[in-house]
Amino acid sequence: MSKKYTITTPIYYVNSVPHIGTALTTLAADVTSRYQKIRGRDVFFLTGTDENGLKVKEAAEKAGKSPMDFVDEISSKFKEIWPGLYIEFDDFIRTTEPRHREAVQAFFSILQEKGHIYSGSYEGWYDVSSETFFKESDLVDGLSPDGNEVRWVKEDNYFFRMSAFQEPLLAHIEANPNFILPESRKNEVLSFIKQGLRDVCISRANPGWGIPVPGDDSQVVYVWFDALINYVAATGWPNPGWESRWPAEVQWMGKDILTRFHATLWPAMLMGVELPLPEALVGHAWLMSGTEKISKSKGNVVAPLDVATSLATRAGCTPEVAIDAVRYYMASVMPMDTDATYTHDEFDRLYNTDLANDLGNALNRSLAMSHKFVDGVIPGGVVETDAAQAIDDAKAKFDKAMVTFRVDHAADAALSVVRFLNKYIDTRAPWALAKNSDPALHAVLRSMLLCLRTAEGLIRPIMPKTADAIAAQLGLPSLTIWDAIGSEESLPAGVKVSLPQPIFPRLDLTKKQEPKKMDTPKPQPAPTPAPAPEVPTEITIDDFAKVKLKVGRVLEAEPLEGSDKLMKLQVVIGEEKRQIVAGIRKNYTAEDLIGRQVIVCVNLKPAKLRGTESQGMLLAATDTDGGAILLQPDREAPEGTGVR
């Protein structure tokens, strides 16, 4: 039986629903899974919920529910939310399942038989919120290191001889440099272990909720000891066939549960039962809200699906693209060594700069110029050297980033080929090549489209729906094989590409000015009445019918040379293309305009502006400074559609 590539997230406490902090970990695992699938690997992606422990029981009682009803409700919300973020897990384990209970009791029994568990008395401080025991010296102003209340516990319990595994753990970390990532986390773990590992209490008096200790129903297995075993329980262990899913290639988690649990207790437990250790433990830093970790208890929860819904409403993008934008944000800011801070403004800024400006602009420009210069057909020829090198570099950087699970670096690598493309277009200026009938035009356009095709493949693990949309506009099937990304074969000549259909409408980031503080007004003489406005001459419907208005789409835009107000546009209106000169440069850049739908007066007599012919007029309102506000349909309309 072949070994699967196994990826895990922590199993999440069922005391609250998922937020952007828990989504961060699960998104990282999903990106890893999608990347490995593109690399041709058979992936097993595990997530789930942690449903035992005193904290869960007390939360259920507070909610007036039985523990089982309580965990059923919360666990179902995790199962619903993850697919909503396009997270494709293969298994969802709950610690209340029979398979988990069987594995925990078998694990406990094996350790007991091997002499790694003994009975004794425990006396000390217990943090119910984090389900963690602490020494007196660990407390800060009478609270746990996490700032939670602690209670004094004195019980007869079972203990795991973790102290016996200190040297084997240090030796394993030394022999496997990528066992704990990133490097800063590994240093924290080494420092913790070298302070001296203590034996740990692994049971509690049975409160009526949890997994009983084998042969002793008066005790339940300590929730952290219980929870960690989910990773092997989901493989089918201790039953035959578990070897196809264990050991895990990577276990993703937040930094708060790495050092004390996943990097010390968990590997020591595995050593005790003689199971192989995971290849890599990745502990990312936190996504903060201001100076605080995002959590329900702090009242600063950010719900990722709410962020996506808001973006779709404000930007006018599709819900699928909005969810992809949230995925991209989380991937690109994935905090590893140090914490990152989430703000709505930073999310909006990243959406505009990376997605609307860079990716959206590159897509719209490339498709528009393909239609203008080669009738919308992918040309043959050889990709230019600079473009081929940029493609190879981006792919190599993405691959290198994923070796050490730097999802943030992978996101940057995927966008690097897009940033190159925008500069390449400006440098190679296809419009100038076409004007001069330069034979290099076809190679340049092919290079542009192959950069887009490469970007489609590289962003796929991060933004799967966006990647599908790009492939569709290129007229090609989705690119899902790693070796094909960037290859000439991935871009067959002769295929008809679509007209650009903007995926990422820009957000208007203009902030409302705060009203100025006014002094107490002084009495003023009554103003002279303004003259009555002149009543405009009425027209008939026949008069209005003389003005022909149609929907068009901007294929190309550039500032008109010699003018600081005018833009020269190439606009497609049905089967016709027109050049229009418009005084909109104050409010719009070329990047804002390419791919945008506009309303055009098509029967206006052509005129010359600064020596350049304009074959129509765009409809626009005026802002308070006299600048243009272009009118456009409130949803996509076929080019050439009449406006009445």
Please write down the HEC assignment for all residues of 271-312. HHHCCCCCCCEEEECCEEECCEECCCCCCCCCCHHHHHHHHH
Task: Provide, rounded to the nearest whole percent, the portion of the chain with pLDDT above 90.
Answer: 68
pLDDT at 406: 98
What residues does CATH 2.40.50.140 cover in the chain? 541-643
Whether the predicted pLDDT of 160 surpasses 90? yes
**Please, what sign has the CA dihedral across residues 440, 441, 442, 445?**
positive
- For residue range 217-251, list pLDDT tens digits in order: 999 999 999 999 999 999 999 999 999 999 999 99
Contact 411, 462 (CB under 8 A): yes
The predicted model gives 510-530 an average pLDDT of 44
Whether the predicted pLDDT of 346 surpasses 80? yes
Most confident stretch, 9-18, 276-285, 336-345: 276-285
* Residue 600, number of CB atoms within 10 A of its CB: 27
- pLDDT-derived band at 541 (thresholds 50, 70, 90) equals confident
Could you tell me which residue, 241 or 639, shows the higher pLDDT?
241
- For residue range 285-304, list pLDDT tens digits in order: 998 876 666 665 566 678 89
pLDDT at 635: 66
The predicted model gives 582-593 an average pLDDT of 82
pLDDT at 295: 63
Domain 304-490 top-level CATH class: mainly alpha
What residues does CATH 1.10.730.10 cover in the chain? 304-490
Task: Provide, rounded to the nearest whole percent, the portion of the chain with pLDDT above 70.
Answer: 93
Q: What mean pLDDT is reported for the chain?
A: 90
- pLDDT-derived band at 512 (thresholds 50, 70, 90) equals very low
Q: Computed over its alpha carbons, how large is the radius of gyration of the chain?
A: 31
Whether the predicted pLDDT of 533 surpasses 70? no
- pLDDT-derived band at 576 (thresholds 50, 70, 90) equals confident
Residue 459: closest CA among 553, 293, 327: 327
Strand partners, 597: 553
Strands of 136-224 (E only): list them: 151-160, 180-181, 200-201, 203-205, 212-213, 216-221
SS3 403: helix
pLDDT at 517: 37
What residues does CATH 3.40.50.620 cover in the chain? 5-284
pLDDT at 185: 96
State pTM to two decimals: 0.81
Contacting residues for 272 by C-beta, under 8 A, at least 6 apart: 110, 111, 114, 116, 160, 165
In this structure, what are the phi and psi dihedrals at residue 621, rounded to the nearest 5 degrees? -90, 175
| Architecture in CATH for domain 541-643 | Beta Barrel (2.40)
SS3 327: helix
Whether the predicted pLDDT of 516 surpasses 60? no
- For residue range 347-363, list pLDDT tens digits in order: 999 999 999 999 999 99
Contact 458, 421 (CB under 8 A): no
pLDDT at 514: 36
Residue 56: closest CA among 12, 105, 110, 119: 12
- For residue range 473-498, list pLDDT tens digits in order: 999 999 999 999 999 999 999 999 99
* Options 3.40.50.720, 3.30.365.10, 3.40.50.620, 1.10.150.120; CATH of 5-284: 3.40.50.620
The predicted model gives 582-595 an average pLDDT of 81
Q: Looking at residue 483, what DSSP letter applies?
A: G
